Amino acid sequence: MFKPFLLLFAVAMFAFLPASAPAGPPQEKTPAASAQKSSGKPNAQLQAKAKGLYQIDCALCHGASGDGKTDVAKDMGLSLADWTDPKSLADKQDQVLFDTIRSGKGKMPAEAEGRAPNDVVWNLISYIRNMSKGQPAPATEGSTPATPPAPNN
Ligand code: HEC
């Protein structure tokens, strides 16, 4: 069961984990802890599940890349945030995203717990947040790209 591929994946997960990992007070041990972020431990299985679920339940509106430019969004008249832009979710807390996914909002349908348990929702959130990784750092939009000469790599 110790496939190199899995190991690689786990390592990749570490790289994806935001440095802003929760440093919350350790004493909060409520019974409702299951709704809390499960410490963001890298878990390849949950990540894979979240990714698969995203393709099925979310991509039709939000797009596989998360840019929100889909036919469904157009047809429904939705104006969706472009998650490939790091700024789009910067001011939104994880808990807010969690509640939106779990309860729905406006025209977005709720994701039932039977379909996406809390753990999976947290992984969906990190999956979504990672959509802006690997993008050029916050660029000034609208203006002609004044890109400095990039090194050839
Ligand atoms: C029917 C289209 C649709 C589907 C399917 C859908 N969403 Fe959304 N989603 C929306 C709309 C519309 C909003 C904006 C809601 C608002 O602010 O009124 C939204 C907002 C969000 C937000 C809040 C952040 C933001 O960009 O506004 C998150 C997070 C999110 N969706 C995640 C998901 C996930 C995860 C799934 C799949 C489990 C999903 N969505 C499926 C339409 C959809």
| CATH at residue 115 | 1.10.760.10
Over the chain (153 residues), what is each successive 10-residue block's mean pLDDT? 57 50 48 50 87 98 97 97 97 98 97 96 96 68 54 67
Q: Is residue 149 part of a domain?
A: no
Chain centroid to Cα 122, Å, comes to: 8
Q: Is residue 94 part of a domain?
A: yes
Task: State which ligand 1 atom lies nearest to the alpha carbon of 53.
Answer: 38
- Ligand 1 pocket member 60 (CB < 6 A): yes
- Ligand 1 pocket member 100 (CB < 6 A): yes
The reported pLDDT for the residue numbered 43 is 81
How many H-runs (helices) and E-runs (strands) does the chain carry?
A: 6, 0
Look up residue 149 and give its amino acid. Answer: P
Q: Is residue 104 part of a domain?
A: yes
Q: Is residue 107 part of a domain?
A: yes
pTM for this predicted structure = 0.72
Q: How many CB atoms lie within 10 A of CB 98?
A: 18
- Ligand 1 pocket member 67 (CB < 6 A): no
Chain centroid to Cα 26, Å, comes to: 25
The reported pLDDT for the residue numbered 128 is 97
Task: State which ligand 1 atom lies nearest to the alpha carbon of 54.
Answer: 37
Task: State which ligand 1 atom lies nearest to the alpha carbon of 121.
Answer: 35
Look up residue 8 and give its amino acid. Answer: L
125: its two tokens = 């959130």
Instruction: Tell me the residue range of the domain where 115 lies.
Output: 49-58+84-134
Tell the residue number behind the tokens 């379909």, with chain if given. 115
Question: Looking at the 3D structure of the chain, how many domains does it have?
Answer: 1
The reported pLDDT for the residue numbered 122 is 96
Q: Is residue 6 part of a domain?
A: no
